[in-house]
Structure 1
Amino acid sequence: MSEQGLNTVSFAGRAAASSQFKALYSEGMSLVEETASYLDGTGRAASKVLPRMASVLYAAESMRLTTRLMQMASWLLLQRAVNNGEMSREQVMSEKSKVRLDGFNVDRNAPGWLDLPEGFRDLVERSLRLQNRVAILDREIYRPADPTVLPDNENSVRAQLNLLRTAFGN
């Protein structure tokens, strides 16, 4: 087996253990706190005066919002634990299987969406952007390793050149 695969640098893995991850972690946890504060305060008062359709939508979307944020917070806490050596990658993989980072999208064309308070819609939009960033990082960090192993005497550039020669006959 070639050692080339062992020398591959995982940029996503490094980003997950860097100051960029710390900023993402901080942003995520701050958004959780901000949302909780909003929903318990300003949002609660605003939801009481919404038209019926918007009121129903507010209830549904606030549940999706809190679920989305809790899933992201779980992922961020797991990643922080592996970064700090508190959990092994295998332990995190086992726990991470319980975390969903997709499927919480929003229908901005739903009846009543534009009647929702602007502050609430802003929290939803920010949570969706954060969810997307976390999901991308998750896919990059935890995707299966490339099973392609080159023969010891072949490097990746030569392998690509050989593929091109085979495809184009030169």
Structure 2
Amino acid sequence: MQTANTSPVTVDFMRRFTASEQFDKVFREGMGLVEETADYLDGPGRKDARLLDRHGAVAYAAESMRLTTRLMQLASWLLLQRAIGAGEMNPEEVQHERRRITLGEIGHGNPVSGAEQLPTALLDIIDRSLSLHQRILKFDAMLGLQARSENTGNLSPVSSQIDRIAAAFGNRS
């Protein structure tokens, strides 16, 4: 879609996304969950872990490791998106950092013997981290489609629709 001056309307989805209330909410939630997890594992979690038998202690160690790995990857993704949206990184830095983040392999792991003993507080944090992980996977997929369409010079159907809406409202951002 083109405007009256015949230049194509381009919508910078990344900047809009990272400046949105939705991204801000997810960012705050993710960083808050990282902090809450650290507080739990360094405080009440240590006491909870001492109450477990050998199988429960192994399950606690395995699940807390999965949890911290998941949260560090999610936090890295959130911080990267914020930096990209703010224009703080060049394309080479972005690609380098994207290769270091692995979102797909940090979901549910295989069941561990003794998992039925895990403290409720830990299970709650794990569930919330998995929920956040699923939302971030969806955002990452959307942003990946945007980036691929920009790299190939082709507009994705979503980009095309966003451009049409922006043009209809006279938005030239």
What's the TM-score once normalised by structure 2's chain length? 0.74
> By how many angstroms is 1:97 displaced?
1.1
> By how many angstroms is 1:18 displaced?
1.0
Q: In structure 1, what is the equivalent of residue 165 of structure 2? A: none
Query: Is residue 82 of structure 1 aligned with residue 84 of structure 2?
Result: yes
Q: Is the 8 A contact 1:47 1:58 kept in 2?
A: yes
Give SS of 2:51's match: coil
Q: In structure 1, what is the equivalent of residue 35 of structure 2? A: 33
Letter in structure 1 aligned against 2:28: S
Q: CA RMSD in A?
A: 2.7
Q: 1:14 to 1:112 in 2, by over 3 A?
A: same
> By how many angstroms is 1:107 displaced?
4.7
2:139 aligns with one of 123, 134, 137: 137
Q: In structure 2, what is the equivalent of residue 92 of structure 1? A: 94
Q: Is the 8 A contact 2:15 2:86 kept in 1?
A: no
Query: Is residue 113 of structure 1 aligned with residue 115 of structure 2?
Result: yes
Whole-angstrom distance in 1 between the partners of 2:29 and 2:108: 21
Gaps of 5+ in 2: 3-7, 161-173
Gaps of 5+ in 1: 151-155, 157-170
Whole-angstrom distance in 1 between the partners of 2:133 and 2:115: 20
Matches within 5 A, 1:117-128: 117-128=119-130
Percent identity between the aligned chains? 46
Q: Is the 8 A contact 2:70 2:107 kept in 1?
A: no
Q: Is the 8 A contact 1:72 1:131 kept in 2?
A: yes
Q: In structure 2, what is the equivalent of residue 14 of structure 1? A: 16
Please say which structure displays the higher CA radius of gyration. Answer: 1
> By how many angstroms is 1:14 displaced?
3.1
Whole-angstrom distance in 2 between the partners of 1:54 and 1:13: 45
Letter in structure 2 aligned against 1:137: F
Which shifted more, 28-37 or 10-19? 10-19
What's the TM-score once normalised by structure 1's chain length? 0.75
Q: In structure 2, what is the equivalent of residue 73 of structure 1? A: 75
Give SS of 2:105's match: coil
Whole-angstrom distance in 2 between the partners of 1:115 and 1:107: 16
Letter in structure 2 aligned against 1:145: S
Q: Is the 8 A contact 2:14 2:85 kept in 1?
A: no
Q: How many residues align?
A: 148
> By how many angstroms is 1:8 displaced?
6.5
Whole-angstrom distance in 2 between the partners of 1:83 and 1:148: 20
Letter in structure 1 aligned against 2:41: L
1:104 aligns with one of 106, 118, 124: 106
